[in-house]
Copies of this chain bind each other. A is one copy, B any other.
Amino acid sequence: MKLYDSKPAPNPRRVRIFLAEKGLEVPTVQVDIGRRENRSAPLLAMNPLGGLPFLELDDGSVIAESVAICRYFEELHPDPPLFGSGALERASVEMWQRRMELELFRDVTGCFQNTHEFFKGRIEQVPAYGELCKRSALARLEWLDQELSGHPFVAGPRYTIADITALVAIDFGRVVGIRIAPEQKQLARWHEAVSARPSAKA
């Protein structure tokens, strides 16, 4: 099996952190997004939408989408459970993972894609939308700060994939000025704790 990875991009980092939390090592192939290697013919033949990361299995099957790759490893190596355990916790982790993805991660990457120099000429940018994403992401950080006063981790009492999505979104937010505000004490406490885990360096 091979993980097609890109060190600087946020989605591949989600999978690397997940694997580190599981104590798993998977051979990786570094793909240079700057040179559009992810859109080269051999890679598009494996993953037609051109995103990263994706996982190539030994029989040639391909699993794309960061959370789908994580789900695959969760099924094969259930401990520690990073998607929750039991119906209610699994649903709750899914809810929080989706909130972090759709309300935070997507706004951070939407801001980056629509305002950052890196994407100029690569995609059609709508800067006004990027700015809206930024305001929206900053508002979500305020909300998340309040939520974290009720639970140590994003989805509740233990570390899950929702923490991974939130951490990667917030760290990547720095490139577009989306940062935790000094008064967001709960968020800062959480960020310090999840960043101190060895997996955060993955």
Contact = CB atoms under 8 A, between A and B. Distances in A.
A114 B128 CA distance: 12
> Copies per complex?
2
Given A87-B75, A87-B76, A64 B103 contact: no
Contacts of A61: 88, 92
Nearest to A92: B63
Nearest to A76: B87
A116 interface: no
- Say whether chain A's binding surface is mostly helix, strand, loop, or mixed: helix
B48 A65 contact: no
A162 to B, nearest CB: 11
Contacts of A65: 94-95, 98-99
Contacts of A48: 143, 147
A176 interface: no
Nearest to A75: B87
A193 interface: no
A126 interface: yes
A128 B88 CA distance: 40
Interface in A97-151: 98-99, 102-103, 106, 114, 124, 126, 128-129, 132, 143, 147
A98 B94 CA distance: 13
B68 A95 contact: yes
B99 A49 contact: yes
A59 B99 CA distance: 22
Contact of A128 (B67, B128, B143): B128
A170 interface: no
Given A63-B88, A72-B90, A126-B129, 9 more contacts: A48-B147, A49-B99, A65-B94, A68-B95, A75-B86, A75-B90, A106-B106, A128-B128, A129-B129
Q: Which 10 A-B pairs have the closest CB atoms?
A: A75-B87, A72-B91, A129-B129, A68-B95, A68-B94, A126-B129, A65-B98, A65-B95, A71-B94, A63-B91
